Copies of this chain bind each other. A is one copy, B any other.
Amino acid sequence: MATRIVEPEAGPRSKRAAILAAAVDCFGETGFEATKWSTVAERVGIGQTALYHYFESKTHCLLTIMRLELQRSHDKFTEATEGVEEPTEALRAAVRAAYDVSDHEVLQMRILHNHMDLLSGTRKSKREEAERVEARKLVQLVERNWTNLLVKGMSMGAFPLRDAQLLGSGVLGLIVSVWRWYRPSGPTPLSEVSELIEGACVRMVAT
C-alpha cells in the first residue's frame, strides 16, 4: 500500500489549516499565478514570512492542496461504490459522488485541474517533490478506480468490451471538464450537470 504523506499534526496554535483554506479561496477565485503569496498571509492575519514556517514555497502549498483534493476524491469514490454490485449502478453512484461537493471543494477541484501539468515534471526541493509524487500516485489510483469499474462491468457482460483504460480516461475527462466552467453562482445548478453527465457516461460505457 502506498504511504500517505504524514500530515503535520496541528499544534494548538498552528495556522496551517487557515492558510490552506485562505489559499484555496485565493487560488480558486483569482488564480494561482495571479494571487500574491503575501495576500494569503494578509487574509490569515500573519506576516508573509510566517508562511514559510508551514510551506516551503507557494508551489508547495499548491501541491498540498492538490494532493488533499485527490485524496478526498479517491476516498469519496471508494465510499460511493463499495458494495454496489451492479456495474451500471456503480457507475452512476461514482458519477453522482463526483458532483456531491461543497462550494469550497468546487474551488479545490478547479485548482487541481487547472494545474495538473505541475505533476509531470520533477520538482527541485524535497518537500515539493514529495507532494508531487504522492499526488501523481493518487491520480493513477483514481484512474485505476475508474478503469477497474469498467473492466468489472465488461467482464460481467454489463458493458460491451472496449479499451477500458482509454474509455476510463475519457469518462474521467468528461466528468472533470465541468470544473473548468462551473461556478456555484452560475445559471446551471450542479444537480442538473450531474444528471446529464451521469446519463452521458452510462450511454458512453453501457451502450
Contacts and interface: CB of A to CB of B under 8 A. Distances in A.
Using C-beta atoms within 8 Å of the partner chain, give the interface range for chain A.
20 to 34
Interface string A185-206: 0001000110011001001100
Interface in A124-176: 162-163, 166-167, 169-170, 172-174, 176
Interface string A86-126: 00000000000000000000000000001011101100000
Nearest to A166: B196
A177 interface: yes
A188 B166 contact: yes
Copies in the complex: 2
Contacts of A33: 33
A108 to B, nearest CB: 15
A34 B176 CA distance: 25
A80 interface: no
A163 to B, nearest CB: 6
7 shortest A-B CB distances, which residue pairs?
Answer: A173-B177, A174-B174, A203-B207, A200-B204, A203-B203, A204-B204, A166-B196
Given A34-B121, A162-B196, A207-B207, 5 more contacts: A33-B33, A114-B117, A166-B193, A167-B196, A173-B177
